[in-house]
Structure 1
Amino acid sequence: MMTAAGNILEHVRRDAADEEFMELVAAEGVRIERIVSTGQASPPGFWYDQEWSEWVLLLSGSAGLLFEGEPTPRELKRGDYLLIPAGGRHRVEWTDATEPTIWLAVHYGLLSCSE
């Protein structure tokens, strides 16, 4: 049996030009990843529209997540979590530019581990 260990809060770059994605676990139907945002947002007009559900938890920082049809973004701060159902069109309106926003994302209902 293989084990994996680490610290999700280590090796966080504060000056990255792009969001950083690190896969922590991948198994049939599920993927867990750490996402680090440093002021990034979804491109104008871009909407995520995933065929799987995603549960996110903010470990640090803050972010604004907008769902299609809602008038204003939902503000997430450290400790907040949110379930994004499959097909729930959403976008990241903003992430904290003064400190890294660290997300723990659990994707489930995947057809394969490569999604």
Structure 2
Amino acid sequence: MRSGHLLDPLPPAGPDEALDTLLARGGVRIERIVSFGQSSPEDFWYDQAEDEFVLLVSGSATLRFDDGRDVTLTPGVWVDIPAHCRHRVEATAEGEATVWLAMFWPGGTQATT
């Protein structure tokens, strides 16, 4: 058994986001991502083969989707992103930690509500 705290300790601010894999098992991966004002490079789009569920834990962020939609995330807001849904991180909070909890699994798996 493993355990931890999602918000303590947080990595120091740096030029890149900090990514920690918290769990990887049976095709599922759970990551903690910590941003300090980072965004995706100009003209870069994520186009991943995995489905992704992301929950914003602290800070703020804006995701932009290839179809022109923007989604503003504040603590507690989550987004379910299907595989190959092109998206990018448009902005994250400056001067504070933006903490994401991201879960990935093989693309095309039907989600239930």
TM-score, reference length from structure 2: 0.90
Letter in 2 for 1:4: R
Aligned twin of 2:110: none
Is it true that 1:74 corresponds to 2:71 in the alignment? yes
How far off is 1:15 after superposition? 2.1
Aligned twin of 1:43: 41
Letter in 2 for 1:85: P
Aligned twin of 1:25: 23
Question: What does 1:45-64 correspond to in 2, within 5 Å?
Answer: 45-64=43-62
Aligned twin of 2:81: 84
CA contact (8 A) 1:14 1:99 kept: no
Displacement over 3 Å in runs of 4+: none
User: Tell me, what secondary structure is at the counterpart of 2:2?
Assistant: coil
Is it true that 1:106 corresponds to 2:103 in the alignment? yes
Q: How many residue pairs end up in the alignment?
A: 107
Aligned twin of 1:113: none
| Distance in 2, Cα, partners of 1:89 & 1:76 | 17
How far off is 1:14 after superposition? 4.5
Identity of aligned residues (%): 47
Note the aligned Cα RMSD (angstroms): 1.1
| Distance in 1, Cα, partners of 2:30 & 2:8 | 17
